[in-house]
Structure 1
Amino acid sequence: MPIDLFTHQVDADTLHPIFKMMSDARFGPERAVLAQWAEGFEDRDGKFVRELQTTFESSFWELYLFAALKELGLPVDLRHHAPDFVVDGKVPFCLEATIANPPAGGEPAYGFSMAAPPKDFTDFNIESTLRICNRFDAKVKKYRKSYLNHAHVEGKPFVIGIASFDRPHSHFASGRPILAALYGLYYDEAATRPGDIRVASYNVSTAPKNANTDIEVGLFCDDSYAEVSAVVYSCLATWGKLRALADNPEALSVYTTLHPNPGSLLPVVRNARKRDYTEHLMDGLFVLHNPFARHPLPSGLLSHPRLCEIRVADDGELINNAPDDFLLFRMLQRIKPT
């Protein structure tokens, strides 16, 4: 029986704001996309639908990853409750999903005004990097303490899927925080000078948590996390992704997207009305490989023409395989008729 995501399992006043909004009749096409992602998915612990309706983001990310695995043609063995996905096929592996949440007392990644973007992108990038490192570390500890002891996990590559929902405008992050977190490579807009054709970048080994504490970054720069084969990451698998994929050409919305522009600091900027806009499920998705992995993923296993795949060459250089129009950023603006 198909999983029923939308019949309310909780009182209306406890619904997550995005789920509550999505329940409106005008968002039927968006619900259809989410239902398509969930085809074949099972509520293995009996809590998934309730969590989708009340906390939304972590469950949404799990459904997105399930849809991405289907797009890659990778079957999932749903007999196991943990990790989140035990992937079958030519090279079986395990995938655990997590999201970077706001810190205690922090503002959520929804309900903000686009009129007030982050004032300091250095602070924004550092804080986003720290939240990613926090979730990565939590999942590695879980793997070492629990998952590793399961027969269906032992000896298989282990992949962590991380999405950024850690603050307002978290979709601004693009690849900055994940590259710093995993490879210790930081792109610094503040250090970039007029006339430069590239954003200034340099290697970092720590990021300041506060005035007295630094947190290690560059998690894939040695064998400290050799049990992690790769990270799958996105900051654009959001409500905006559903809006972008929905078959709703009459929607009164405009999409602004940014794409790479080699040899220039300024990205390629595109604007389109909903009826003229197209986006792929995999647009904006990163796959980042650990060069020190005990069980590395073979070349091509998680490759797709629409995502960005990053490996480390023998000399330490990052090899980036992505489409020329890779989706760096998406902003959706609703048109209000007058």
Structure 2
Amino acid sequence: MDLFEPRLPETKLHDAFRLIRSDPGYGKVLPVIQNWATGLLDRKGESQKFIKEFQSTFNSSMWELYLNRAMSDLECNVDYSKSAPDFVVRGPGNYEFNIEAVISDQPPTTVQQKSFSEQDFKVRGALKLVGKIRDKLNLYRGFNGKKHPYSSLSHVRGRPFVIAVAPFDSNISLLQNNELINLALFGMAPPELVGPYCGKQGKIGSLLTPSGSPVEMGIFTNDSFKEISAVFFSTVGTFGKAVVESQIERLVRSTRYRMMDKDKVEPGSMLWQLGTHRFQFTNLTYLTTLRWEGGNQIGGADRLIQHSSVHRETHLDGLQVYFNPYAEIPFDRDFAWPQEVALNYFDVENGEHIQAHPDGALVSRQVYDPSPYSLQFLLESNGFLVR
């Protein structure tokens, strides 16, 4: 079934759906997305509903399409005969678990604020993530008299329950890296980027809603969400992933996690010097390095601006997994994760976030038209040009 054959009146089609269908420049992207749907559209009675949701709401369906292809890359099979939760999964060694997908989306009538407050953006984003995770937990537990909660289903009972969440709650939500999910799940404040405490992270126990009500952060630091075994998270499992995989011409800005033992860093290495440094390699390749010390390691991030012809990214790049240490049914620690997947644990005894991230793990990525205007914007916003 063709995802891109309109099933709704023009007025009900999502702006993004209309754009990618009408722009010939996206011609190579459409078959990539269609391929992501393999198997997903075979569900009896569900395929038409899914296509209509894809065409009318777009973001939530794109996230499910991304996850569907990700299951294949994780060498997992999905039982499409089950309509709920979203993915009934059998992995290597017949390991079975369930995934419920959700996004923190914005209502269609939302008007973006003209003035931007980074603090308001972060508070609102973290509150949205916790709220959406709680909504799905309520589906599992049974809420407001729901007759068949997920926990009552035979293919769910006794198996890990995973919530896969992605942020789409504002026009810039995909720029949040992993800071807000770290706050929501482990109560970790964003790291200090300058000064003597560069790289250090504080802790935040709660945030206030606009009405003044406190909402708990760090929901995986106690047993209040014990039914959730793990959370899958990504800011790059989006339409931009399909654009990159199609290899159409674009400018790409990406951020990658970096970590190296000090004794493995080549003496005098320019790329591992502490602080913030900028490099230009070609007319379309720019790198900003952020580095700080932490014990016997140097950590930080690389921010790259480059042409899509040299940008490299797998489908699983950017996928992060957060394990709940209080889970009633823990996710198997011996699951064979591909090397590009970033794993996150919480040390209950020491109250610490343990990041088992591969050096070079993708944290965020955005794509731009390959125009002089876009390049100028990217160079200015990343400190290579001064207005």
Q: Could you state the TM-score of these two structures normalised by the residue count of structure 1?
A: 0.89
Is 1:288 equivalent to 2:287 in the alignment?
A: no
Read off the aligned partner of 2:89 and give its amino acid letter.
Answer: V
Deviations 1:91-131 (A, max 9, x none): 211100000122685347xxx9xxx9x84322221111000
In structure 2, the gaps of 5 or more residues are 143-148, 260-273, 277-289, 291-300, 374-387
Change (3 A) 1:158 1:107: farther
Residues 247 and 308 in structure 2, CA contact (< 8 A), matched pair in contact too = no
* 3-state SS of paired residue (1:86): strand
| Aligned residue number for residue 286 of structure 2 | none
1:126 matched residue in structure 2: 123
Contact 2:251 2:308 (C-alpha < 8 Å) held by counterparts = yes
Matched letter for residue 224 of structure 1: S
- Aligned with 2:362 (options 323, 327, 330): 327
1:236 aligns with 2:219: no
Does residue 41 of the first structure (1) align with residue 40 of the second (2)?
Answer: yes
Whole-angstrom distance in 2 between the partners of 1:269 and 1:337: 20
- Matched position secondary structure for 1:143: helix
Q: Which residue of 1 aligns with 2:152?
A: 149
Report the Cα offset of residue 42 of structure 1: 2.4
TM superposition shift of 1:87: 0.6
Q: CA deviation at 1:333?
A: 2.0
Q: Which AA in structure 1 matches 2:60?
A: S
Q: Which runs of 4+ in 1 moved over 4 A?
A: 261-265
Q: What is the percentage of aligned positions where both structures have the same residue?
A: 30
Deviation of 1:206 after TM superposition, in Å, equals 0.7
Which residue is equivalent to 1:55? 57
More displaced stretch, 163-172 vs 274-283:
274-283
Letter in 1 for 2:33: L
TM-score scaled to structure 2, two decimals?
0.78
Partner in structure 2 of residue 9 of structure 1? 7
Cα distance, 1:301 vs. partner?
2.3
Q: 1:309 to 1:188 in 2, by over 3 A?
A: closer
What is residue 173 of structure 1 aligned with on the other side? Answer: 176
Q: How does 1:24-35 map to 2 (within 5 A)?
A: 24-35=23-34
Where do 1:189-228 residues align within 5 Å? Answer: 193-198=194-199, 200-210=200-210, 212-228=212-228
Matched to 2:117, the amino acid is: D
CA contact (8 A) 2:66 2:238 kept: no
Which of the two has higher C-alpha Rg?
2
Measured after TM superposition, the shift of residue 41 of structure 1 is: 1.7
CA-to-partner distance for each residue in 1:77-99, whole Å, 9 max, x for gaps?
11111100111242211100000
Pairwise CA distance, 1:17: 1.3
Contact 2:230 2:322 in 1 (8 A): yes
CA contact (8 A) 1:188 1:201 kept: yes
SS across alignment from 1:42: helix
Offset from partner CA, 1:263-306 (integer Å, 9 cap, x none): 54623222221222221111111100000011111124262211
Residue 84 of structure 1 corresponds to: 86
Q: Secondary structure at the match of 2:75?
A: coil
> What CA distance in whole angstroms lies between the structure 2 residues aligned with 1:304 and 1:107?
40
Is the partner of 1:219 in helix, strand or coil?
A: coil
1:78-117 to 2 correspondence within 5 Å?
A: 78-89=80-91, 90-102=94-106, 105-107=109-111
CA distance in 1, matches of 2:336, 2:208: 33
Match of 1:136 in 2: 133
Contiguous gaps of at least 5 residues in structure 1: none
Taking a change above 3 Å as real, the CA distance of residues 107 and 236 of structure 1, as seen in their structure-2 partners, is farther
Q: Secondary structure at the match of 1:177?
A: helix
**C-alpha distance 302-37 of structure 1, shift in aligned 2 (>3 A):** farther
Structure 1 residue aligned with 2:337 = 303
How many residues are treated as equivalent by the alignment? 323
Which amino acid in 2 is paired with 1:311? Y
Deviation at 1:230, TM superposition (A): 0.2
Conserved? CA contact 2:257–2:359, under 8 Å: yes
CA–CA distance in structure 1, aligned partners of residues 206 and 69 of structure 2? 34
CA contact (8 A) 1:287 1:310 kept: yes
